[in-house]
Amino acid sequence: MKLYNTLTRQIEVLRPQHSPEVTVYTCGPTVYYYPHIGNWFTFIRYDLVVRTLQASGLKVRWVMNITDVGHLVSDADDGEDKLEKGARREGKTAWQVADFYGDYFVKGLARLNIRRPDYLPKATDHIAEQIQLVQQLEAKGYTYVIDDGVYYDTSKFPHYADFARLDVDVQQAGARVEFNPQKRQMTDFALWKFSPKDHQRDMEWDSPWGKGFPGWHLECSAMSMKYLGATIDLHAGGIDHIPVHHTNEIAQSQAVTGRPLANYWMHANHVTVDNEKISKSLGNTISLEDIEAKGLSLMAFRLHVLESHYRSQSKFSWQSLRAANQRLKALEAMADLIWQPLGSSAKSTNFGDVFKRILGDMQNDLNTPAVLASLSQLQTQLEESLLSPEEIKAFRQFLESIDQLLGLQLASRPDISEAQKQLIKQRTAARAAEDWPTSDAARHQLADQGIGLRDTPQGTVWYRTDNPHTT
């Protein structure tokens, strides 16, 4: 499989350290509020790369963290912890907020047919590992203590700027007025933050340096080492993680292990809503519930994610999601042909070759737009030629393979009922007898049940519609 490696800025063949096992770490949610569609775009991208690795014959060991403490509202190590902010907003404890939105996130994975990672570790369950990591950094001379916490001295890590290709001197010269004057460099970051002296936090722990809580970046290093070892095969996240979060992860991990944190880095680009950046102030933080409230399928949203390449800036709009919903309906109608073998055996499709081409596109840096183009081409072809009885087995295997790779749930669609099949037969007989009132009545009855009909030279084909009474 080939992926664009942020580390080298080029597309490379992914070669696991211990093939056929491949280790994957993906940055998960901060569970202080509902994830918005930009977050879900990225999580679906993670799922696609894992599915493609598995379809390529690799055994994936996948970790995705849950940040339930330490993520401040500012990357500059100031401001309020997002969990504490969420607790104040809802009149709950930070623990209650983390439990609620953490549970919501896990259920959201299932709703979007995102495979559950092998490990979903929480930051609060790994405080001991994070403290130990700070102690290791301290022993190696990478830390210093100031009034508000223990900090990582980035000047001690010569390659700090390499990953994001930062111009540290320019950043230092342009530091904001409110830059913490006790920090030695603007790029230094908190490893352990001290609890405020004027009030008690919901989440705080004793440490060798005083009561407090871990910095956001610390958890990923500590948990990836625990579950996946010193060097991960593939680390993934959003492009906003490159200049701060992932740069800091690399600095603290490699300072301790002396080895690369990851050999390959995958980053998903931003998502805009109606050409605007997603933000609460603009009121465009669309949720899964917002999508369902408009009568649109979450599988249509998943398909919409596939319509853009993960490295390009994706553009969401309700119009584009409705178009994706129609595209999904067409693919579902193609899948439903498995129950209607009306085609001629004189024509046949090599579904194995089609899937091989699709898998090849996924293996080529997750080229999902090319994959959907192939599926649309097949859908158009089968709409005209239909399936022959001899093709049913191969088509079923194709749908199952596509579901394993793309997660669109095309293979699990049920047949219509015997009563509905009888209505189609009655309509066919009425049409042959030119009994148009009976024919129309059967069509209307089926339409009320969410079944549409399409007459072809080979016979009548049924498909499911958007009717609220869809079977």
Does 425 share its domain with 362?
Answer: no
Smallest CA-to-CA distance from 332 within 405, 421, 403, 417 is with: 403
Instruction: Identify the domain boundary among 210, 243, 268.
Output: 268
Amino acid identity at 259: R
As beta bridge partners, residue 214 has: 192
Which residues neighbour 181 within 8 Å (Cβ) at sequence distance 6 or greater?
none
Yes or no: say if 465 and 450 are a contact pair by the CB < 8 Å rule. Answer: yes
Distance CA 61, CA 220 (A): 16
Does 305 share its domain with 191?
Answer: no
Segment 235-246 shows an average pLDDT of 96
Model pLDDT for residues 302-360, shown as the tens digit of each residue: 999 999 999 999 999 999 999 999 999 999 999 999 999 999 887 889 999 999 999 99
pLDDT-derived band of residue 177, with 50, 70 and 90 as boundaries?
very low
Model pLDDT for residues 114-143, shown as the tens digit of each residue: 999 999 999 999 999 999 999 999 999 999
Distance CA 401, CA 410 (A): 10
Does 337 share its domain with 206?
Answer: no
> Is residue 155, in this structure, part of any structural domain at all?
yes
Q: What is the pLDDT of residue 74?
A: 81
> Is residue 469, in this structure, part of any structural domain at all?
no
Does 287 share its domain with 422?
Answer: no
Segment 217-225 shows an average pLDDT of 97
Exposed, middle or buried, 409 (CB in 10 Å: 0-12/13-18/19+)? middle
Yes or no: say if 379 and 330 are a contact pair by the CB < 8 Å rule. Answer: yes
How many domains does the chain fold into? 3
% of the chain exceeding 70 in pLDDT: 96
> Is residue 46, in this structure, part of any structural domain at all?
yes
Does 146 share its domain with 222?
Answer: yes
> Is residue 240, in this structure, part of any structural domain at all?
yes
pLDDT-derived band of residue 470, with 50, 70 and 90 as boundaries?
very low
Distance CA 361, CA 73 (A): 39
Does 305 share its domain with 230?
Answer: no
DSSP-derived pairing of the beta strands 262-268 and 276-277? unpaired
Q: What is the pLDDT of residue 207?
A: 98
Does 126 share its domain with 192?
Answer: yes
Model pLDDT for residues 399-440, shown as the tens digit of each residue: 999 999 999 999 999 999 999 999 999 999 999 999 999 999
Average pLDDT, the chain: 94
Query: Which comes out higher in pLDDT, residue 465 or 274?
Result: 465
Does 73 share its domain with 34?
Answer: yes
Model pLDDT for residues 16-36, shown as the tens digit of each residue: 999 999 999 999 999 999 999
Q: What's the Cα-to-Cα distance from 417 to each of 55, 157, 196, 223, 389, rounded to whole Å?
A: 34, 67, 65, 50, 20
Task: Say how far residue 281 (Cα) sits from the centre of its chain.
Answer: 24
Q: What is the pLDDT of residue 169?
A: 67
Strand ranges, E, within 247-344: 262-268, 271-273, 276-277, 314-316
Domain that holds residue 353: 276-406
Does 263 share its domain with 307?
Answer: no
> Is residue 26, in this structure, part of any structural domain at all?
yes
Tokens linked to 392: 């049913």
Entry pTM? 0.94
Does 133 share its domain with 163?
Answer: yes
> Is residue 413, in this structure, part of any structural domain at all?
no
Determine which of 149-163, 200-214, 268-282, 339-353 has the lowest per-residue pLDDT on average.
Answer: 268-282
Instruction: Identify the domain boundary among 224, 245, 268.
Output: 268
Q: What is the pLDDT of residue 345?
A: 82
> Is residue 310, in this structure, part of any structural domain at all?
yes
> Is residue 192, in this structure, part of any structural domain at all?
yes
Does 115 share its domain with 246?
Answer: yes
Q: What is the pLDDT of residue 281?
A: 64
Q: What is the pLDDT of residue 471?
A: 33
Distance CA 100, CA 293 (A): 21
Does 356 share its domain with 248?
Answer: no
What CATH number is associated with residue 394?
A: 1.10.730
